[in-house]
Amino acid sequence: MFTFINPKTDFAFKKIFGSQNSKDILKSFLNALLYDNQPTIEYLQILDPHSLPLIRGLKDTYVDIRAKLNDGTEVIIEMQVLNVEAFEKRILYNAAKAYSTQLETAEQYVMLNPVIALTITDFEMFEDFRKVISRFVLKEREFLSDYPIFDFELVFVELPKFQKSLNELETLTDKWIYFLKTARDLNSVPATMEEVPEISQAFTIATKANLSYDELSELQKQEIYIQDRRGAITKAVSIATEKGRQQGKQEGRQEGIKEGQFALIIRLLERRVGAIAPEVQNQIQELSIAKLENLAEALLNFTQISDLTAWLETQDLPAR
């Protein structure tokens, strides 16, 4: 029986996929998620994720893993557990920076290599469709034709949308996503996954018994931080929901008062000046509660419909 670390934490994700001993694991992982299980990546180089050129005036770039593929394509990879503000913009910024900072002074644009930003999220980003993996590229707005240079791609893997059980895993893609989503809850390596050497190696790295005291301590700190942040988000949502409920009740009471006033005033007006045309009733309905109270007092002096319309003209109603 084994205990595995959570691959979704920053520390574990980098240890499993981003160390210099993880090249085969990362190659299998990227072939599965980016290239439909085809052996497109023959070899890759794992780079320092923070080694992008520092340019005056640009923010630092934070990604979990950065790799260069055999065809020169650069892949920046991020595992994101919490849905933080402006996260979508950060993805674009990091991808654009990885693309734009490739060139040294005086180098030609033709030397730019494609950039793929692979983002794995532990929350749903795109509620309009149920695909687990989605890919975004530059398209012409009306005809949806590709931009001539296919150098920029954003790929998202939304873990909550993956609902397959262990017995339903069919492809290498399925197995890697299942590993990310469930490894920490397993106590042994499933046979169907152990048969993939790279996934078996990933489980070995993820075994808690293989971690030092300092590594376990760092992992625990990150998991506590994630739990605290999730708790803070849940509490904030709960408070906002309760405020909205109370505000809704208050607005409902005010609306009920206004509807009652309106109905009473229309009955009183019809007794004094006759039938009230629908367009005039609409004007009366636009009055605030305070102005309806003023109208209730003023109507005692009305003797004909023109008295009412003249009074309404003094109330600064919206132009119709």
pLDDT of the chain, 320 residues: tens digit per residue: 788 988 998 888 999 999 888 999 999 999 999 999 999 998 999 987 765 444 444 444 456 899 999 999 999 999 998 887 788 998 999 999 889 888 876 678 888 999 999 999 999 999 888 999 999 999 998 888 988 888 999 999 999 999 999 999 999 999 999 999 999 999 999 999 999 999 999 999 989 877 777 877 777 777 776 676 666 555 555 665 566 566 655 656 667 667 777 887 787 778 777 788 888 888 888 887 778 777 777 777 777 888 888 888 887 766 55
Residue 93 within any structural domain of the chain:
yes
- The pLDDT value recorded for residue 246 is 65
Last residue of a domain, one of 194, 211, 228: 211
Residue 84 within any structural domain of the chain:
yes
Q: Are 41 and 139 members of one domain? A: yes
Burial class of residue 119 in the structure, from the number of CB atoms within 10 Å of its CB (0-12 exposed, 13-18 middle, 19+ buried):
buried
Reading the block at residue 96, the tokens are 């654009």
pLDDT, one tens digit per residue, over 200-242 is 999 999 898 777 778 777 777 777 766 766 665 555 556 655 6
Q: Are 83 and 205 members of one domain? A: yes
Q: Which DSSP symbol is given to 75?
A: E
Residue 219 within any structural domain of the chain:
no
Alpha carbon 38 to chain centroid, angstroms: 29
Residue 243 within any structural domain of the chain:
no
One-letter amino acid for residue 57 of the chain: G
Q: Are 176 and 288 members of one domain? A: no
| Domain limits for position 202 | 10-211
- The pLDDT value recorded for residue 58 is 44
d(CA 16, CA 14): 6
Q: Are 147 and 77 members of one domain? A: yes
Q: Are 287 and 196 members of one domain? A: no
Q: Are 149 and 269 members of one domain? A: no
Reading the block at residue 61, the tokens are 């770039």
Residue 121 within any structural domain of the chain:
yes
pLDDT, one tens digit per residue, over 118-166 is 999 999 999 888 999 999 999 998 888 988 888 999 999 999 999 999 9
Q: Are 28 and 166 members of one domain? A: yes
Residue 247 within any structural domain of the chain:
no
Closest to 288 in 3D by CA, of 318, 248, 245: 318
Spatial neighbors of 32 by CB under 8 A, at least 6 apart, are: 171, 172, 173, 175, 176
Q: Are 126 and 271 members of one domain? A: no
Q: Are 124 and 21 members of one domain? A: yes
Residue 230 within any structural domain of the chain:
no
Reading the block at residue 289, the tokens are 């509660």
> How many structural domains does the chain have?
2
Q: Are 267 and 176 members of one domain? A: no
Last residue of a domain, one of 178, 211, 244: 211
Last residue of a domain, one of 211, 245, 269: 211
Q: Are 166 and 267 members of one domain? A: no
Q: Are 160 and 277 members of one domain? A: no
Residue 1 within any structural domain of the chain:
no
